[in-house]
Structure 1
Amino acid sequence: MCRMARPRKPLLSRDRIVEAASALVDSEGLDAVSTRRLAAELGVSGPSLYNHFRNKDEILDAVADAVSAQIDLSMFDESDPRDWRAALHDWAVSYRAALTEHPHIVPVLARGPGRRPAGLRVADAVFGAMVGAGWPPAQATYIGALMRYFITGSALGSFARGFVDDETAYDPADYPHLGQAHLLAERRRQVDEGAFETGLRALVDGLSVQYELLAPGGTVRPAPKRS
């Protein structure tokens, strides 16, 4: 009995394409991805990619969804003891960590989940947890949008990296309060993570104040009048 020879390279699959595209995005950015480049990286003909994806945009959607799948959602399980405040905080930290590992794909993620399964699971978990905690559906929607704006904005850029490490660049005569700004670049991670945590806690604290104003019927009580 003769045996069929094994192919020298693994058969092409969606996972292999996404893995190769993810590596390109991480190393060179979104513009580096093309079906021709991916085919060359995978050692296949260009048209073979179309058996799995219709175009480049679908491939990038799949890369974005693979990043969404890395976000921890366990804090929204009914069995988890964390209240909505702690859950929202811990989810946001996990969300940002996934994005900062793959910053070049953030512009695709920032457009929203569309039809991406993992992205939709994230949106569903957050919305469901907020409604389950007593937020009205409209407010729960606003919270999900607010958090996405904040987290993706944080991951899109670096405040600290915006300053050069040349102390002569910030003349005290022109910028009297930026005498230490040249030190920010070397402390980028500390500054960026500290800024994110400060903003996140401010957001959650502010939402907690709004939550305390919720009436039992699910409407928001008017703020007390100031004397």
Structure 2
Amino acid sequence: MARPRKPLLSRERIVTAALALVDAEGLDAVSTRRLAAELGVSGPSLYNHFRNKDEILDAVADSVSAQIDLSMFDEADGRDWRTALHDWAVSYRAALADHPHIVPVLARGPGRRPAGLRVADAVFGAMVRAGWPPAHATHIGALMRYFITGSALGSFARGFVDDETAYDPADYPHLGQAHLLAEHQKQVDEGAFETGLRALLDGLAVRYESVSRGHASAAAEQ
């Protein structure tokens, strides 16, 4: 029997093609018709694997979640909770920076996506093991997702035009160098992320000490 000229259609092929399309042209470029054309198949054949476009985008988002490093949350890894959160956040942001157009889908939360749920489970479990009460661990997971996805939704530096005449000092006396920000976009945005992340972790460390003292006092009273 002769081999088929094209590889058989699979969920993996569809997700790979959809992610490439999202990366190149954004979410609005994805449609079952466009994907079918990209894959060289008939449109209805996609429905053997996904019910609709939303399911495809969910799978694309989950494929990006699967790129996030979770090894720092392994019990045998040895990193303390603060270092683990920092290193995970850097990995998380890197994955989103590689695929910024899918961030709005990821920002909706993991839903039923397996890789996204593994991320949430790993963070929550590691925080509880470190001594955070479950409610606090939930808040930390939410806080970190808000911060990381928010940082990936847009570039502060690219929010300013590179025209030095755009910001009249009579109107904006402190924006004389703002036209230079776009030129240094990576440095500015990464620096802002790291500054915010360290400030966030500093605050959590203070809160952790308070929680730990509360546990110690409660234990002493028993």
The TM-score bracket by the shorter chain reads: over 0.9
Q: Runs of 5+ in structure 1 lacking a partner?
A: 213-225
Deviations 1:25-73 (A, max 9, x none): 0000000000001011111111100000000000000000000000000
Give the helix-richer structure, 1 or 2: 2
- Alignment partner of 1:75 is 2:72: yes
Structure 1 position 21, deviation (Å): 0.3
Q: Does 1:58 align with 2:68?
A: no
Answer yes or no: is 1:12 the counterpart of 2:9: yes
Q: CA deviation at 1:166?
A: 0.7
Structure 2: segments with no counterpart, 5+ residues: 210-220
TM-score (norm 2): 0.94
Please, which of 176, 179, 186 is the counterpart of residue 176 of structure 2? Answer: 179
Provide runs of 4+ in structure 1 moved above 6 Å.
none
1:132-183 per-residue CA deviation (whole Å, 9 max, x = no partner) reads 0000000000000000000000000000000011111111111111111110
Q: How far apart are the structure 2 equivalents of 1:166 and 1:154?
A: 25
Distance 2:20 2:159 in 1: 26
Return the offset for 1:83.
0.1
SS of match in other structure, 1:169: coil
CA root-mean-square deviation: 2.6
Aligned-partner Cα distance in 1 for 2:23–2:163 = 28
Would you say 1:138 and 2:135 are equivalent positions?
Answer: yes
Q: Deviations over 1:174-216 (max 9, x none)?
A: 111111111001000000000000000000000000000xxxx
Counterpart CA distance in 2 for 1:162 and 1:208 is 32
Query: How many residues align structurally?
Result: 211
Q: 1:81 deviation in Å?
A: 1.5
Name the structure 1 match of 2:105.
Answer: 108
Percent identity reads: 90
